[in-house]
Structure 1
């Protein structure tokens, strides 16, 4: 902390930048008479915070920060501001504020003692370039610190009815997660699949110049061998991918399918190259992570001996000191240091040392493929609210129960009998009970199917009818069943209905 000395004109008004939906930045000042060079700041922070809004009213500003639904934000207080005392009193009690910066055009800033006592206070800056660099570092840390979507199973599941129900739910979640991964990694390559991404991105971010510039750069420079570089760059791409994986947003995953495949293939190639060069069969990796107390107690501490399955790509580091940087000391959460032991006895490595391919080589990052499974070996309290969780890399095949493996194989055979990725996704969504989404995909397929393709029209109408039937809408189900039969020759109807009934 402390002053960063330089002469830079102060920004005015209230500026809200949104980087990813979980980390907005709010720029506060009460003086609306100083002209804000919006274009200058927008360009300066491009790639860190992509969306810019200006507020002139102090009440709107305070209402925005104190909104009960507001997510954790970064706050920059810029001079001049004449309501500092009032603002500080509010800030002291706000959990929404993840970090506080002061930006001033002089070395003098009154009433900072109250702010200095807040553990989230990051310092006073007089150089906007220095401020930019610190914000970049903060966002880089947040990339690691963001919650990871995972599923855990108990070591002794099945000892009573409740455990059996929870265990069954976890196993089903694991199976469907594995199938989601398979669908996107094994999706047939289409010539224009990147165009889907660019078209969608330009529509969604039509009014976001900074993000459109990044998309333009991505379109111009991207190739499959640069997937890791772009993944580790602090742009929306990283956030969009992991958000889609966390939330099982199939529309967005479909748009990003080329990037998922490229990233996984590059990781696999590097991983195999790493195995040939490594002199040791045992590697220890680290990750600093924050977690809610409820999640830690229920999903980690009580699951020692069980499995932990990661739904997305997982960033770790060979360097303990790097991981400890990301263990955020915050009394409202549990700070966790994951110590991950990787035994190289497995035939295929599921992580890669990406240091020389990364945008941030100093992190000494190793990246795990999505769907990696670990066993929770131990949980140890380091001090107060800080814990060390020891994980061991686990072979998915070794850890699968026989019934689970049978379910996976059966569902995979059914899903992969479908011809395209959309057919496979629709089939899986139906099996998952997500009827509305499955119906949406089957309807899209029907709308894009030529009426001359009679068998496909029959098939899709029948599937839509099945969904309406499951949703308890017999009239719509009957209508689609009739439309399905209309396209069949009379002598084919009994055979078709028999086959569909058999494959339900």
Structure 2
């Protein structure tokens, strides 16, 4: 084989010592899908049967394997890999020179040395934390990887803390949005299967089983089975990988519903006495410090949460091994107090899955739904040989009816009224400043919608809003115009969405300096709203009229701004006053938007040299602002500055 890197989809048969890794019960062995498996050996030869046999063994764990014969290429590949965790199999002859160059890479999770002289290589590897064992056969590496894979999947489960992570505030809203999506399940099962085949790292047997047998088993069975679903779903939720979330959206909903149903069935016979469950996993030092700062506050697990009634399994099987992984991570034993009475009153579902999971009856596993929230009570070191590397975190399950928690989301939920499903997910991502993910989501949904579908118009409109926030105005204009084209064929000629699109397009043209085009779209918005008002016979009390008045005021204000920028103060004053009149007809006198109107009119009089009139309007703006907004509000600061400057001119 030449010095090169290759991807193999097809690995020698299996003995060795594995460094202190506990043998886990069968139920917790998962397939490695959250890892990238890399194999470096200068003597690899793809043409030899020995190599092919080895690949076959390893492929039972992960289909796609990166092989290298050149050490420098392998080192570059590992250092350039950012979001994947890497498991490395390396020959003993290259290990001593290569491992010191890559051991500090956070993405390198574990190393297995493959050699013919085990005792020699055990000497230099004994103090290298990431080296999990020295092996003389691929079969023993496979056995070790089976145990390691379970720990790995656990370690990839992420957390978010209130006051630190934006995801925490939006987690409950994301959950609501994901669970209300009513997709064509049969279609999406096929799409998931097709998507996975393209990824080339899941066996066809697994994909065929999903495609043909999905409805033969419960979602909990699939989630606990040794197939790709568990790892893929946790990866998708950890990274909020849009492709995975969209493809597995149906399963997220099915699994939550299955947990809810089982919870209802078990509730009548379950204990009402609080009890404890446990979860062992690895966690980065960054996340540990984040929890320490949040002690006494709230945190959420950003995935479906597998726990055990058995403390020893969680501690010995997961937390202790995780303490040995890296100097940048620690082993964590979560001890969670669950109050069944609280769960019943707040509809926080969990289920005992020991009789319905894939490994029937082998373990007291309790499964919680996505984004379950806990209060952090205590964080303490566990005395062991792993100094400062093994911790216990005591948590208490928090009710969905927790008042401070509800207050966090209530305002944002109100702002999201009118959006549902994937549309709401996209809006939440934008609010989380995840515009790239929102763009990817909208584009992915658009690719599967009819070109004349009103939903396509809505998603294009949202793309336009997102691009405007990102200040990529040309893309925003293009998206708005695509939405407008469909809206014009689907909606009444005086529909407010048409006016809103035109206003937004005008504003983006203004932002790139194309004022004549901006004026044209603002005027179209004016015409649409005037038609709407005429059709409502100027009944100022109807909601549709109020909407049209508000949009018309916005258009007048925008046109006034264009004239002001061009120095045409007479026209600017005319349109600013028209905007003010519309607001006076529909809004209470101290509404905050009056402050902007008064300030704009004041700016025009100021520029015309009519300082007394300017001061009068500035003062009105300040009076409105003071009644409605905190003193730090940007507009108040601007108005105060304008008053100060105009007084100097008088």
Query: TM-score, normalised on structure 2?
Result: 0.61
- Contact map agreement 2:44 2:51 (CA 8 A) in 1: no
Structure 1 position 408, deviation (Å)? 5.1
Which residue matches 2:122? 112
Aligned alpha-carbon RMSD (Å): 4.0
The residue aligned with 1:183 is: 177
In structure 2, the residue matched to 1:284 is 276
- Partners in 1 of 2:436 and 2:83 — Cα distance? 29
Q: Once structures 1 and 2 are overlaid, which stretch shifts more, 476-485 or 115-124? A: 476-485
Aligned residues of 1:289 and 1:326 also touching (Cα < 8 A): yes
Is 2:199 the counterpart of 1:204? yes
1:275 aligns with 2:270: no
Distance 1:38-1:362 versus aligned 2 partners, 3 A rule? farther
Work out whether residues 354 and 365 of structure 1, in 8 Å CA contact, stay in contact via their aligned partners in 2: yes
Q: Is the 8 A contact 2:33 2:231 kept in 1?
A: yes
Alignment match, 1:74: 87
- Residue of structure 2 aligned with 1:60, choices 73, 82, 86: 73
Query: How far 1:434 sits from its partner (Å)?
Result: 5.4
Give the equivalent residue in structure 1 for 2:208. 216
Find the residue that maps to 2:59 and give its secondary structure: coil
* CA–CA distance in structure 2, aligned partners of residues 203 and 456 of structure 1: 27
38-47 vs 259-268, greater mean Cα deviation: 38-47
The 2-side partners of 1:228 and 1:480 are apart by 42
Distance 1:234 1:291 in 2: 23
Distance 1:411 1:32 in 2: 59
Please say which structure displays the higher CA radius of gyration: 2
Q: 2:483 and 2:223 mapped to 1: Cα distance? A: 45
Q: Structure 1 residues 293, 401: closer, same or farther in 2, change over 3 A?
A: closer
> Of residues 155, 178, 182 in structure 2, which corresponds to 1:145?
155
Distance 1:319 1:213, change over 3 A: same
Residue 397 of structure 2, aligned match among 381, 393, 402: 393
When residues 109 and 64 of structure 1 are mapped into structure 2, their CA distance, relative to the original with a 3 A threshold, is farther
1:256, CA displacement in angstroms? 0.6
**Distance (Å, rounded) in 1 between the aligned partners of 2:242 and 2:548:** 26
Question: Deviations for 1:402-437, whole angstroms, at most 9, x for unmatched residues?
Answer: 643532552464324xxxx34444454566565666
CA 1:353 to 1:425, structure 2 compared with 1: closer, same or farther past 3 Å?
same
Deviation at 1:441, TM superposition (A): 5.8
Counterpart of 2:418?
414
Question: Displacement, 1:85?
Answer: 4.9
Q: Give the conservation status (yes or no) of the 8 Å contact 1:230–1:237.
A: yes
Q: Does the 8 Å CA contact 2:332/2:391 hold for their aligned counterparts?
A: yes
| Cα distance change of structure 1 residues 129 and 485 upon mapping to structure 2, 3 Å threshold | closer
1:51: Cα distance to partner?
0.8
In the TM superposition, what is the alpha-carbon distance from 1:372 to its structure 2 partner? 0.6
Correspondence list, 1:216-255, <5 A: 216-223=208-215, 225-255=217-247
Q: Is it true that 1:404 corresponds to 2:408 in the alignment? A: yes
1:333-372 alignment, distance < 5 Å: 333-346=329-342, 347=344, 348-360=347-359, 362=362, 364-372=364-372
Kindly provide the CA deviation profile for residues 280-322 of structure 1, in whole angstroms up to 9, marking residues without a partner as x. 522211112322323212x211222111122211222111111
Cα 1:32–1:301 shift into 2, 3 Å: closer
User: Shift of residue 121 of structure 1?
Assistant: 4.2
CA distance in 2, matches of 1:177, 1:238: 20
Structure 1 or 2: larger helix share?
2
Closer/same/farther in 2, CA of residues 412 and 175 from structure 1, 3 Å limit: farther
**Residues 366-392 of structure 1, C-alpha deviations (whole Å, 9 max, x = no match):** 222112110111122224312211100
**Alignment match, 2:285:** 293
1-side partners of 2:152 and 2:336: how far apart? 20
Deviation, 1:76, is: 3.2
Which of the pair has the greater relative contact order for Cα pairs under 8 Å at 6+ separation? 1
| Contact 1:415-1:428 within 8 A present in 2 as well | no
Which structure has more strand as a fraction of its residues? 1
Compared with structure 1, are the counterparts of its residues 87 and 362 closer, same or farther at alpha carbon in structure 2 (3 Å cutoff)?
farther
Moved more, 117-126 or 49-58: 117-126
Name which of structure 1's ranges 175-184 and 61-70 shifts more when overlaid on structure 2: 61-70
Distance in 1, matches of 2:175 and 2:216, equals 18
Q: What does 1:400-479 align with in structure 2 at a 5 Å threshold?
A: 400-401=404-405, 403-407=407-411, 409-411=413-415, 413-416=417-420, 421-429=421-429, 445=446, 448-449=449-450, 451=452, 466-467=465-466, 469-472=468-471, 473=473, 476=478, 479=481
> Residues 162-189 of structure 1: CA distance to partner in whole angstroms, max 9, x if unpaired?
xxxxx4x76x644532122112222224
Check the 8 A contact 2:37/2:66 in 1, yes or no. no
1:41-87 per-residue CA deviation (whole Å, 9 max, x = no partner) reads 33323342221233233443455456685965333345xx5456545
Q: Which residue of 2 aligns with 1:160?
A: none
> Is 1:24 matched with 2:24?
no
Q: Is the 8 A contact 1:287 1:316 kept in 2?
A: yes
Q: 372-381 vs 358-367, which deviates more?
A: 358-367
**Distance (whole Å) between structure 1 residues aligned to residue 340 and residue 145 of structure 2:** 38
Tell me by how many angstroms 1:136 deviates: 0.7
Alignment deviations for residues 214-261 of structure 1 (CA, whole Å, 9 cap, x no partner)? 212322332274322332344432232222223333342121112112
- Whether the 8 Å CA contact 1:462–1:484 is kept in 2: the answer is no
Give the conservation status (yes or no) of the 8 Å contact 2:173–2:409: no
CA distance change for structure 1 residues 387 and 261 in 2, over 3 Å: closer, same or farther? Answer: same
> Contact conserved, 2:281 with 2:331, CA < 8 A, in 1?
yes
**Structure 1: unaligned runs, 5 residues or longer:** 6-17, 154-166
Q: Does 1:313 align with 2:304?
A: yes
Q: 1:307·1:375 contact (CA, 8 Å) conserved in 2?
A: yes
User: Within 2, Cα distance between the matches of 1:343 and 1:187?
Assistant: 30
Cα distance in 1 for residues equivalent to 2:308 and 2:485: 57
C-alpha separation between the residues in 2 aligned to 1:131 and 1:30?
19
The 3 A distance-change label for structure 1 pair 483 and 447 is farther
What is the aligned partner in structure 1 of residue 294 from structure 2? 303
